[in-house]
């Protein structure tokens, strides 16, 4: 069965409720929608963050996200997916990413959303630069994110 998949990389903000409404419109086979929204923090520990700038490799990023969406759809009985990732300058409190997974049952939706977020956080082709009082710096990969994504291999 082919499911509805929406993947967007955009500078503009998004409305989570509107995206969920679009995902579920006229559907009576959906019993659960699990959403994860990532929001720009204003601090990391005791260090203030003025903004994040996210960059991506156009075309490659969309293809990689689509490949992982296909993997999720083959592993869990999903009825739809929406994945939105913002690029450009993002201020604290603004949305960065949305993953919405729809299924007849909650467990599949939860697992697929978690799988996709673990991938996006650890391996998606995005680069993040933090701006703060001391200037700006590129954010390095985090071992915790790699470990979270790694738990999905072989399962």
Q: Tens digits of per-residue pLDDT, 58-111?
A: 999 999 999 999 999 999 999 999 999 999 999 999 999 999 999 999 999 999
| Residue 154's pLDDT band (cuts 50, 70, 90) | low
Backbone angles phi, psi at 91, to 5 degrees: -90, 160
Q: Which CATH superfamily is domain 4-150 in?
A: Molybdopterin biosynthesis MoaE subunit (3.90.1170.40)
Tokens standing for residue 75? 């592993």
Pairing of strands 51-56, 88-90: antiparallel
pTM for the full predicted model: 0.91
Tokens standing for residue 94? 């603004």
CA distances in angstroms from 30 to 60, 73, 99, 108, listed in the order given: 31, 14, 16, 11
pLDDT at 124 over 90: no
Q: How do the domains of the chain map onto residue ranges?
A: 4-150
pLDDT at 39 over 80: yes
pLDDT at 45 over 90: no
**What mean pLDDT, rounded, does the chain reach?**
92
Judge contact between 19 and 81, C-beta under 8 A.
no
């Amino acid at each position: 069965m082919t499911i509805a998949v929406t993947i967007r990389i955009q500078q503009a903000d998004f409305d989570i409720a509107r995206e969920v409404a679009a995902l579920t419109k006229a559907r009576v086979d959906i019993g659960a929608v699990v959403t994860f929204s990532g929001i720009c923090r204003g601090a990391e520990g005791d260090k203030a963050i003025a903004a994040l700038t996210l960059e991506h490799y156009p075309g490659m990023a969309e293809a990689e996200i689509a490949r992982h969406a296909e993997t999720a759809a083959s592993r869990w009985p999903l009825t739809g997916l929406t994945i939105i990732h913002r690029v450009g300058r993002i201020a604290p409190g603004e949305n960065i990413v949305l993953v919405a997974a729809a299924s007849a049952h909650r467990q599949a939706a939860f697992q697929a959303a978690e799988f996709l977020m673990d991938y996006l956080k650890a391996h998606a082709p995005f680069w993040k630069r933090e701006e703060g009082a001391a200037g700006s710096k590129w954010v390095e990969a985090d071992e915790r994110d790699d470990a979270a994504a790694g738990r999905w291999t072989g399962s």
